[in-house]
Amino acid sequence: MIGKANGAISITGIGAYAPEHVITNDELSQMMDTSDEWIVERTGIRERRVAADDQALSDLALPAARDALEQAGLDAGTVDLVIVATVTPDMAFPSAGAIIADELGAPDAAAYDLSAGCTGFMYAVAQGYGMVAAGLSRHALVVGGDVLSRILDWSDRGTAVLFGDGAGAVVLERVSEGGFLGFELGADGSGGPQLYLPAGGSRTPASAESVAERKHYVQMNGREVFKFATRVLVTSAEKVLAECGKSIDDVDVYIPHQANVRIIDHAAEKLGIPKEKIVVNVERYGNTSSGSIPLALADAQVEGRLQEGSLVLMTGMGAGLTWGSGLIEWTTNGRK
Ligand code: UT7
């Protein structure tokens, strides 16, 4: 799916939250056969955050959502749409969206979850955009977050060292001009088995056997996902830029999914975008799945990199296999 935006809609508030508990590479190397040297060299990750035992996805998302609303200057009661991109909701149902809308105090909001792996946030932003553009929503809250620590096999060094927990949120509203210029989203279901959670759904419901066979943990073919990631980060970005009549030189800030520094470097080189325009925080958080792009957006804002008129390119990729880009001319002017 690709399209140019047909209404001025922008991000008017950003919030992010990562749990307090830090796990360093050295700590991991006491739990499994790995090392700080291997993890840093192959991924760039130095540490990740892990949720406390009593924290579920909604507990990570709520502080992020409250901060995003405060920044946008909105009362939670005016939010009419809550979309939560996640693969680790509090439970299968009710949705984390409904739980979060209730806790926030947004009784008039439509609220639901969206599953698109690590691309979830980009899918959810595009969907929120569409709802606001169509006039169905005035104040949309889009959350991206995951608690992947709950579905990692902590004895599998091929996955456990890569991921972390975290969440971010943005508010989408109409503005006078600028805002999102376009989106490009896609999915290749044939690649699904490269990154999946085998059990717990209707195909293989939870049983003593599925637990014993460790089928409730993330399974991944790292090399195949690496090839896919480096390819789609480039093609998706190129497509959305071309659709919007922009070139890579026009981009001021590039926010790729924070999976692995090597993947980011590879994409940046192919795209021809200089390092100083790229937002990278994977060394502190690992791959937080749907939380990755909003956490990076929040960091970019704190660093003063999101200026009025800045052209910001965001691209996600992940389970599905899915990918998605959004291009936005940063503005909060003329909110309606
Ligand atoms: O949102 C998308 C989520 N997924 C991803 O982003 C993953 C994409 N893939 C990757 O980032 C990389 O493929 C990995 C970081 C997962 C692996 O890096 P790699 O350079 O592709 O390593 P590899 O799988 O080719 O493994 C090289 C060696 C192997 O040993 P042998 O067979 O050469 O003896 C692995 O067993 O490294 C070994 N290895 C490890 N060693 C120490 C794999 N994981 C580890 C580890 N510590 N944690």
- Ligand 1 atom nearest to 223, measured from its CA: 13
Q: What is the DSSP string of 216-248?
A: TS-EE-HHHHHHHHHHHHHHHHHHHHHHTT--G
How many domains does the chain fold into?
1
Ligand 1, atom 7: closest residue by C-alpha: 222
Over the chain, what is the mean pLDDT?
97
Among the listed residues 25, 257, 260, 281, the single catalytic one is 257
The answer, yes or no, to whether residue 335 has pLDDT greater than 80, is no
> What is residue 6's predicted lDDT score, i.e. its pLDDT?
84
Which residues contact residue 224 at a Cβ distance below 8 angstroms, ignoring those fewer than 6 apart?
191, 194
For ligand 1, residues with CB inside 6 Å are 34, 38-39, 42-43, 118, 157-158, 161, 220, 222-223, 225-226, 229, 259-260, 287, 318
Among the listed residues 25, 118, 244, 260, the single catalytic one is 118
| pLDDT tens sequence across 22-51 | 999 999 999 999 999 999 999 999 999 999
| pLDDT tens sequence across 227-258 | 999 999 999 999 999 999 999 999 999 999 99
Site to probe by mutation for ligand 1, drawn from 156, 197, 226, 288 as the one with most ligand atoms within 8 Å of Cβ, is: 226
Residue that has been written with the tokens 């049983």 in this structure: 207
Strands (E), 86-127: 110-114
Look up the domain containing 292 and give its range.
1-336
Indicate if 118 belongs to the active site: yes
- Ligand 1 atom nearest to 259, measured from its CA: 6
> What is residue 336's predicted lDDT score, i.e. its pLDDT?
63
The answer, yes or no, to whether residue 192 has pLDDT greater than 70, is yes
- Give the residue-averaged pLDDT of 252-270: 98
> What is residue 332's predicted lDDT score, i.e. its pLDDT?
86
Give the global pTM. 0.97
The answer, yes or no, to whether residue 153 has pLDDT greater than 90, is yes
- Give the residue-averaged pLDDT of 175-202: 97
**Which CATH number characterizes residue 317's domain?**
3.40.47.10
